[in-house]
Each structure stands twice: as C-alpha cells, then as structure tokens.
C-alpha cells in the first residue's frame, strides 16, 4: 500500500472474508494481533487471526497480506495451518483492547475504547495502530460481537448510550500500553526491540537460562530466528529445546537454511527427525540437502536461497529482487542467472551479475546479456581453506556453488566463511572492547 494509505478501523475487518490471489476463500478474520511497546509508541501490527473453513484459528503475518479493504482481505496464498497460540507480548485488538477503559492523558478523564484504526507506514510493509476511537462517560460495554461486527455510535448502532465520542492519537490515551517499569519478558523484549540481532544475542547469552527462555518465548518467530543465528551452539540448543515442538519447527523454518541445518546437526537424531517432519516439506528438503554435505565444505557453508533469475529477466526485475528487505547485504550483492527451474537446484548455471553492473545498465536490459561467466564457481565438496582462498583471490562477498551437472545449488557468503574461520568461542567473547568502535 502506498504512502498516504487510508486509515482502516479494525471493527470493519471483523468477520471479513480472506481470499488467496486467485479468488478462493481461505477463511474469515477473527482478530488482529499487535505487539505493545514501551511508553506511548504506537503498537506494531503483527498479523491477523483467521478462522479457516475447518474452524481452526491460524495466524497470517501482515507480510503475507497484500490487500486490506473493508469487505475483503487478500493474502499471498501461503498460509501456515498450525493453530494460533497467543504469546506474552501480543494483544488481540478485538478481543482485548476494544471496550477497555483507558485514560485521556491531557485531562485524566476515563473513556471507553470503541474502535482502533490501523494504517500502513509509508514506503514500508509495516503496519501500526494509528488512532483510537473512544467514548466519554461510563456507558457499559458494547453489545456482544456474536456476528463479528461491532455496533458503534457513529455507525448508527449505539448512540442511545450517550456520551461524546472522539478520535484521538494512540499517544493521547494511557491504560493499555506497556509501562516502562513493568516486569516480565514483555518489558524486556520491548526494551530490546531496536537492538541488532547480534547485540540481542549477546544480551541473551549473559542472562540466566530461566530468563533466556522467557525472553525467547516472547520474541516472534522471525526475530527469534535472527537471534538464534547469532548465538553460540549451546545456547541455540538450550533455547530450541525449551520451545514447544511446533514452534521450534516454525523458528527453524524462519532461519536461513544453512543455519537451521547447523543447529539441527547439534541435536540427537530422534529429535532432529521429529523437527524436520514438523517443518514445511520444502523447507525441510532444503535443510536435509545441506545436512548431506560435510560442514567445512562449500556445500556445508552455502545457503540455498540466493537470488536466482532467468536470462530473460530484466535489470529492473533484478533490482527489485535485490531491494528485498529480508536479504543480507552479501546475498544482495549479486544475482545468479540460470536456466529454469529457478529454485535451487536450478537448471544450467550461466553466470553472475554484480549489483554494480545492474546500476550501470538501463532497466530494460536483459540480465542474460550481462552475465560474468569467467568466474569459476565452487564445487559443493570444495574444502574451507580453498573457499577462503577463492574469496580472497577474487575479492568476493558471495560465491556460487555448482554441481557436476552445472546446476546452481546455492551460494556461500563471506559471513559464513568468517564464522568457520574464527575460534569456536568467538560469539561468547566481548567484542565491545577498548579500541573497537562502540566500545
């Protein structure tokens, strides 16, 4: 949704049909999930609880939702069918925040929350709570929402209860935001919200095992996956072991496949197989393939999710892929041009196109005409010392891994090489020492 996107009141979404891209109904919106933050910062909208046709309630992240309108919600079509389970830092907008008594900051007057508005942030996929619609006076709670619709005064459904209604900024009310002096994982997680994953991992490493488990339980899957990738192996195994198995599988799916494979290799065989079985088949297949290679080889180091394009893709297509927010800088440094299929293992690997070359050519140029085919790719069995020499010789931050048949298997990035060159306990040492920037 573009900048200046319309404000949407959540009561308009209750019970609304959810469709996949081809128009088939997935289910109906049951609630919306937000994460409260410290002080008066507007909560971030995480996703929607959707009641699918089997009457199971599942969670659909906002990143999987491509259209939100009064009357329908459109998803990418990829819906995790595991049952929704609310976490400590999450709040249900319809089920927990509506009808709540809160206080106007300016006057100290108690008001009742009738509705909450959400809005997508400009030029981003993130959503936040934007406004709060409240009623003055001590009128009772709204009528039961048996149909998923809310009877609001301004929609002709409750004006007889009396009391002036007004729409205010989230920061203008207090009573359901996290308090700064609050206890428990909620406040801790909110405090850590802006930390980089590596910095949050460093904090978690120095907490007690009990506290570490509480914080891990309160983090959402993507954030926990990012943090796990930065923790020592012992901490990774400990945290994963304290999660419910279904959630552990969700977190493994959210991790980079190579990091998930490394973590699973640290687990007993029976537990490893159980978690792989719970993962989505495509994700599990990628991880199993990586686990088949020796750890200190190109195959063991690589990720199976580089940017792969067909030769008839344009420079504009390539730059759109490079701009994806979830990509690491190393993976975004170049694209790999291959014959179909364009998911690893691909068809015939043709070569790479570096990001700088993409910036120098017109958007309509075909990437097949720009490939650098002179750089020899790595084989999956290339040992770590040879991989290191290869990166140094060609001044690379990422390199293709290709099998004997010429198919691209994945890409090795410089951060994975460094992980295996540094001492085993490097993550456990303090890196903010004297002489280090930020120390």
pLDDT along the chain (439 residues), means of 10: 68 89 88 82 90 84 83 84 83 84 90 91 80 79 37 42 83 71 54 77 81 85 92 92 93 93 93 95 93 92 94 95 88 95 94 95 95 92 94 93 96 89 63 40
Q: How far is CA 335 from CA 92, 162, 307, 310, 353, in A?
A: 41, 62, 5, 10, 5
Alpha-carbon distance of 38 to 82, in angstroms, equals 30
Alpha-carbon distance of 307 to 205, in angstroms, equals 33
Q: CB–CB of 401/379 below 8 Å?
A: yes
Determine the pLDDT at residue 4: 56
- CA nearest neighbour of 438 among 192, 212, 195: 195
Q: How, if at all, do strands 398-402 and 173-174 pair?
A: unpaired
Determine the pLDDT at residue 70: 61
Determine the pLDDT at residue 434: 40
Determine the pLDDT at residue 144: 36
Return the exposure string of 209-221: e unless at least 16 CB atoms fall within 10 Å of the residue's CB, then b: eeebbbbbbbbbb
Determine the pLDDT at residue 152: 46
What would the two tokens of residue 135 be?
């009623």
Determine the pLDDT at residue 149: 37
What would the two tokens of residue 365 be?
């140029």
What would the two tokens of residue 146 be?
């048996």
| pTM, rounded to two decimals | 0.62
Alpha-carbon distance of 153 to 109, in angstroms, equals 20
Q: Is the dihedral of CA 26, 32, 35, 37 positive or negative?
A: positive
Alpha-carbon distance of 363 to 319, in angstroms, equals 9
Alpha-carbon distance of 320 to 399, in angstroms, equals 21
């Amino acid at each position: 949704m573009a900048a200046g996107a319309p404000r949407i009141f959540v009561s308009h979404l209750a019970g609304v049909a959810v469709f996949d891209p081809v128009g088939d109904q997935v289910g109906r919106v049951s609630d919306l999930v937000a994460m409260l933050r410290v002080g008066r910062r507007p909560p971030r909208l995480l996703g929607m609880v959707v009641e699918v046709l089997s009457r199971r309630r599942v969670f659909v992240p906002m990143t999987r939702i491509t259209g939100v309108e009064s009357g329908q919600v459109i998803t990418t079509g990829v819906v995790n069918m595991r049952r929704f389970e609310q976490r400590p830092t999450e709040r249900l907008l319809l089920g927990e925040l509506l009808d709540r008594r809160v206080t106007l900051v300016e006057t100290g007057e108690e008001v009742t929350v009738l509705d909450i508005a959400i809005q997508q942030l400009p030029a981003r996929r993130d959503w936040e709570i934007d406004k709060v619609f409240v009623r003055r006076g001590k009128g009772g709670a709204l009528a039961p929402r048996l149909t998923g619709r809310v009877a609001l005064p301004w929609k002709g459904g409750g004006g007889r209860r009396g009391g002036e209604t007004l729409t205010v900024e989230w920061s203008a009310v207090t009573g359901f935001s996290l308090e700064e002096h609050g206890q428990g994982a909620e406040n801790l997680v909110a405090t850590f919200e802006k930390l980089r994953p590596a910095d949050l991992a460093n904090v978690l490493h120095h907490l007690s095992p009990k506290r570490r488990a509480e914080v891990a339980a309160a983090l959402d899957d993507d954030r926990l996956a990012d943090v796990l990738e930065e923790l020592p192996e012992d901490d990774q195994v400990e945290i994963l072991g304290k999660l419910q198995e279904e959630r552990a599988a969700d977190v493994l799916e959210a991790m980079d496949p190579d990091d998930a494979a490394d973590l699973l290799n640290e687990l007993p065989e029976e537990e490893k197989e159980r978690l792989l079985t719970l993962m989505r088949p495509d994700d599990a297949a990628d991880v199993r393939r990586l686990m088949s290679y020796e750890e200190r080889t190109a195959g063991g180091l690589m990720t199976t999710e580089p940017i792969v394009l067909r030769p008839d893709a344009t420079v504009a297509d390539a730059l759109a892929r490079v701009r994806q927010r979830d990509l690491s800088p190393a993976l975004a440094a170049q694209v790999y041009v291959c014959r179909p299929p364009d998911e690893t293992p691909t068809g015939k690997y043709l070569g790479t196109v570096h990001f700088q070359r993409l910036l120098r050519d017109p958007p309509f140029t075909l990437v097949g005409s720009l490939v650098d085919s002179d750089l020899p790719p790595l084989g999956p069995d290339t040992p770590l010392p040879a991989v290191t020499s290869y990166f140094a010789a060609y001044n690379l931050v990422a390199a293709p891994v290709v099998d004997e048949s010429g198919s691209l298997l994945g890409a090795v990035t410089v951060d994975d090489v460094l992980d295996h060159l540094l001492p085993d306990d490097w993550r456990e040492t303090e890196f903010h020492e004297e002489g280090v920037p930020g120390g």
